[in-house]
A = this chain, B = another copy of it.
C-alpha cells in the first residue's frame, strides 16, 4: 500500500484490465497528490499520470475531485485504525502502556506524513467531506476506550492521578506528536535549527513521554 508505484505485474496475472487494481492505483496516487499539494493544489491530470491511467477513469470510478478526496480520507483513517489494532495496551502495565501509546503515535505520524497533510487539508475545509461520509462512525479510534481502561488501572494501582479525561489525554498525545511534525518546516525556519535532526527527534520523543507521564503519574 506504499506510494511506490511498481508497474511490473509481479503476480503471474497479466490481466490488462482490472477494475480493482485501477481503483487502488488511483487511490494511492490521489493520496500522494493530495498530501503533497493539498486539495485545491492537486491536479486531476497529475493524479491520472501518477497512476498511469486515463483521467476519465477517475471520474468513472470516483465521480469528482471531492468524492475522490473523501475516498482517500476514508482510506487514510482505515489505515491508522488498522495500525492501532496492533497495539495491546490492555496487556501491559499502565506506565508502559502510556509510553507505548506516545511512541506509537509519534512513529505512525512520522512514517505517514500524508496523514498529517491530508487532515490539515480537510480541516481547512471544515471537515466538509468527512461530514458527508457514511463510514464516519467507524473512524472513531478504539484507543480512547483502551486508554480509559489504562487510566483506570493506573488509578487503581495508586500510580495515576484521578480525574483524567481519556479524550483530552488522547488529543494531547496526538497534539504533541502531530504539531511538531506538521509545523516542522516553519518551526525549523523560525528557530533557525533543524528540528528533524536525529538528536532533536530523539529529544522530542523523550520530552513528550516525560510530559505525559509527569502528568498522569502521582
Contacts and interface: CB of A to CB of B under 8 A. Distances in A.
Interface of A: 37-41, 77, 117, 119-124, 126-127, 130-131, 136-137, 139-141, 144, 161, 165, 167-169, 171-172, 174-176, 178-180, 182-192, 203-204, 207-208, 210-212, 214-216
A207 B165 contact: yes
5 contacts: A38-B124, A127-B186, A130-B190, A175-B179, A178-B183
Contact of A40 (B38, B187, B207): B38
A188 B130 CA distance: 10
A71 to B, nearest CB: 16
Contacts of A174: 179
A32 to B, nearest CB: 14
B179 A123 contact: no
